[in-house]
């Protein structure tokens, strides 16, 4: 049973890392990242769009 309790946090860690990579790639390519990825990272999508490059 103990192995199941560690799978959740590890899965969430991979979700966060994936979102960070996706947002970084979008910014590098000068396109808008997905709201879901920004939210997962704790970034408000509305405020993010106000940032000018």
Q: Looking at the predicted structure, is the pLDDT value of residue 8 above 70? A: yes
Q: CB neighbours (10 Å) of residue 4?
A: 7
How far, in Å, CA of 16 to CA of 6, rounded?
16
User: Considering its fold, how many domains does the chain have in total?
Assistant: 1
Containing structural domain, residue 28: 2-49
DSSP structure class, residue 51: -
Contact 38, 26 (CB under 8 A): no
Question: pLDDT above 70 covers what percent of the chain?
Answer: 91
Which residues lie below 8 Å from residue 10, measured CB to CB, with a gap of 6+?
none
Residue of 27, 29, 53, 7 whose CA lies nearest to 43: 27
| pTM recorded for the entire structure | 0.82
- The mean pLDDT of 32-42, rounded to a whole number, is 97
Mean pLDDT (the chain, rounded) = 91
């Amino acid at each position: 049973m103990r192995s199941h309790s560690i799978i959740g946090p590890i899965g969430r860690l991979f979700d966060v890392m994936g979102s960070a990579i996706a947002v970084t790639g979008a910014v590098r390519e000068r396109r808008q990242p997905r709201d879901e990825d920004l939210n997962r990272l704790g970034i408000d999508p509305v405020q993010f769009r106000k940032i000018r490059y």
